[in-house]
Amino acid sequence: MADPVAEAMSRHPTPEGLVYQYGTAGFRTKSEVLDSVMARCGLIAALRSRALKGKWVGVMITASHNPPEDNGVKIVEPMGNMLQEEWEILATAISNKQTPEEVSQYYQEIAEKYRIDLSSPARAVVARDTRASGARLLAAFLDGLTKGAGAEVKDYGFLTTPQLHYMVRCLNTEGTPDAYGTPTEKGYYEKFGAAFKNALRGKKPSGSLTVDCANGVGGPKLAELIKHLPPKEEALEIFVVNDNVIKPESLNVECGADFVKTNQRAPPSSKAGPGDRCCSLDGDADRVVYYFKDSNNMFHLLDGDRIATLVASFLGDLVRQSGLADKVTIGVVQTAYANGAATEYVEKTLKLKVDCTPTGVKYLHHAAEKLDVGVYFEANGHGTVIFSPDTLDTIAKYEPRSPGQKDALDVLRAVIDLINQAVGDALSDFLLVEVVLAHKSWGAQEWLSTYTDLPNRLLKVIVADRKIFQTTDAERKLVKPDGLQKSIDAEVQKVRQGRSFARASGTEDAVRVYAEAATRGEADDLARKVAELVKAAGSA
């Protein structure tokens, strides 16, 4: 009898000499070498669904902020969270099997190990961003999923990554007391549109907001979402720029969150005037950073650290005002990339607990899940707020004792609905920021003045083998190569308020060097010196 798995795999042979790795963002590389990986991810998605008694798992075909010629794939757990680490290892292993027969054998081995009944139902949800290679890679994935593994599929076409996570969570909670929403695009827009209106409670953000969509899938999706928001006269006027999805080769080119964060300047296409609030999404709309130019035409970035501190301070106010302060605690989760001034502001001014984790949303998300209310944003603008089930229950059942408590509680409940708790979602995140600014009666300048960032510089050093750079202490210290950390520490000692670390990139053969110090010159100098040390160690 023919082996459907081997047969499906034979149509997508493995390129020779390549080693694939399921990294922090799934598999991600040049799109032309991903067909075999996509077919195998179809098998893994089916196995994962069967291991979870036929629950829907998600698959997103995207390379986020990477250049247009790249693509990637990541698998999503039933509640919209990241794939379990144990299964990342299985996905990596199956993607590096050489022959169709080896893949089929490994597929059977996984089934035996996890006692998976291969004849039981398996279900997967799939969506993709607007890259030109998406249709071809989707076909390879479906080949593995349906023809190879005999699973059922629901294809949502083009979605932002957070919309895909939302669909997965909705499908798996449908008909339960924890139903997250309606698993359709319209359901997504209606849920977040209504929550935005309820959270504003008649307050209006000052001025307008210009949203740069990185010429990615966020453009058309934001245009749809705007139709479900209150009219601009009542709430917020939004100008959409860089929404050209007709030319996939323009994706992330001189625009988008990564461009703004890395270059510390507005996209060249920006026409925003002094004081105008702007934000940029990335290619799959799961990151957002804010920025503006002041009256002297000076650029100011309001990145993920700023969003985290703004949101944490607002949630702290709401919890106190609604009378829940002794029942609910709020914590902020950061990575080593968080600006030292932001950490100090959270601990000393907001008086909230700060946890530090390795870089990568899965680590932040995991740490935030352990808190009553966990606020996490990477400096790159990727993040969300997670409320524990007990905390949601406490807030839902709490009886306010005064009109003031009731008002605060109503806003808090609407804000919970406005936050996409499945994953960081640029569209819901920027609506949340606008709600906070409206309630505080702040513009971008007032937000900026809450604390002063220490000048910092982020550099990328291309290396032959990133795996030789190994870290500890939430990636803040290198343990390998030997002696490198000692040399970095010696450079840090030479500058005021100095801090620097180097870590291997999760997505490319490079080491990222971060440095901060009391002045711009010292920060730049420190980053350059540490980059030179890394380069020397990488070529030794």
3-state DSSP of 339-375:
CHHHHHHHHHHCCCEEEEECCCHHHHHHHHHCCCEEE
Residue 504 marked ligand-binding: yes
Distance of CA 395 to the CA centre of its chain: 26
Residues 6 or more apart whose Cβ sits within 8 Å of residue 389? none
DSSP string, 462-515: E-S-GGG-EEETTTTEEEESTTHHHHHHHHHHTSTT-EEEEEE-SSSSEEEEEE
Residue 310 and residue 346: Cα distance in Å, rounded? 10
pLDDT at 348 over 90: yes
Tokens of 75: 């698998």
Is 380 marked as binding a ligand?
A: yes
Q: Which CATH number fits domain 4-158: 2.170.270.10, 3.30.110.70, 3.40.630.30, 3.40.120.10?
A: 3.40.120.10
Residue 380 corresponds to which tokens in the numbers above? 């790159």
Which residue matches tokens 């890394």? 534
540 is in an annotated binding site: no
Radius of gyration of the chain (CA): 23
Mean pLDDT of the 416-434 span = 94
Q: Is the pLDDT of residue 536 over 70?
A: yes
Determine whether the annotation assigns residue 378 to a binding site: yes
Contact 43, 144 (CB under 8 A): yes
122 is in an annotated binding site: no
CATH for the 188-300 domain, from 3.40.120.10, 1.10.3210.10, 3.40.640.10, 3.30.1490.20: 3.40.120.10
Any idea which residue has 């209504």 for tokens?
Answer: 194
Task: Residue 469: name the closest of 368, 376, 359 by CA.
Answer: 359
pLDDT band at 506 (very low <50, low <70, confident <90, very high): confident
Establish whether 507 is an annotated binding residue. yes
Pick from 117-131, 176-190, 317-331, 494-508: least confident:
494-508
Q: What is the pLDDT of residue 48?
A: 98
- CATH H-level superfamily of 456-539: Alpha-D-phosphohexomutase, C-terminal domain (3.30.310.50)
The pTM score is 0.91
Indicate if the pLDDT at residue 461 is higher than 80. yes
Dist CA 340 CA 84 (whole Å): 31
> What is the chain's mean pLDDT, rounded?
93
pLDDT tens profile 169-202: 999 999 998 899 999 999 999 999 999 999 999 8
Q: How confident is the model at residue 406 (pLDDT cuts 50, 70, 90)?
A: very high
Q: Dig out the tokens for 99 from the structure.
A: 């022959």
Nearest by Cα to 222 from 145, 280, 146 = 280
Cβ atoms of 21 and 33 within 8 Å: the answer is no
Nearest residue to 341 (alpha-carbon basis) of 490, 450, 476, 437: 450
Is 282 annotated among the ligand-binding residues?
yes
Q: State yes or no: 506 annotated in a binding site.
A: yes
CA pair distance 406, 531, nearest whole angstrom: 54
Residue 505, annotated as binding a ligand: yes
Secondary-structure breakdown of the chain: helix, strand, coil percentages, each rounded to the nearest 5: 45, 20, 40
284 labelled as ligand-binding?
A: yes
Percent of the chain at pLDDT exceeding 70:
99
Nearest in space to 11 (alpha carbons), one of 30, 46, 39 = 39
Condensed to tens digits (0 to 9), the pLDDT of residues 245-302 reads: 889 899 989 999 999 988 889 999 888 888 899 999 999 999 999 999 999 999 999 9
What pLDDT, in 10s, does the model give residues 366-398? 899 999 999 999 988 999 999 999 999 999 999
Work out the average pLDDT over 424-440. 96
Contacts of residue 310, defined as CB under 8 A and 6 or more positions apart, other chains included, come to 433, 436, 437, 447, 450
Q: Is the pLDDT assigned to residue 364 strictly greater than 60?
A: yes
Cα–Cα dist 536/404, whole Å: 61
Residue 322 has pLDDT above 90, yes or no: yes
Residues 503-520, mean pLDDT to the nearest whole number: 88
What mean pLDDT do residues 226-239 have?
Answer: 93
Q: Of the residues 36, 49, 64, 270, which is catalytic?
A: 64
User: What mean pLDDT is predicted for residues 117-132?
Assistant: 96
372 is known to lie in a ligand binding site: no
pLDDT at position 273 is: 86
Tokens of 143: 């080949």
Q: Which superfamily, per CATH, for 304-448?
A: Alpha-D-Glucose-1,6-Bisphosphate, subunit A, domain 3 (3.40.120.10)
Q: What is the DSSP string of 287-351?
A: -EEEEEE-TT--EEEE-HHHHHHHHHHHHHHHHHHTT-TTT--EEEEEETTS-HHHHHIIIIIS-
CA 342 to chain CA centroid, nearest Å: 20
133 is in an annotated binding site: no
pLDDT value, residue 540:
67
313 is catalytic: no
Amino acid 374: pLDDT: 96
Q: What is the mean pLDDT of residues 461-481?
A: 89
CATH 3.40.120.10 range(s) for the chain read 4-158, 188-300, 304-448
pLDDT in tens, 85-110: 999 999 999 999 999 999 999 999 99
* Start-end of CATH 3.30.310.50 domains in the chain: 456-539
Q: Are 417 and 195 in contact (CB under 8 A)?
A: yes
pLDDT attached to residue 395: 96
Asked whether the predicted pLDDT for residue 1 surpasses 60, the reply is no
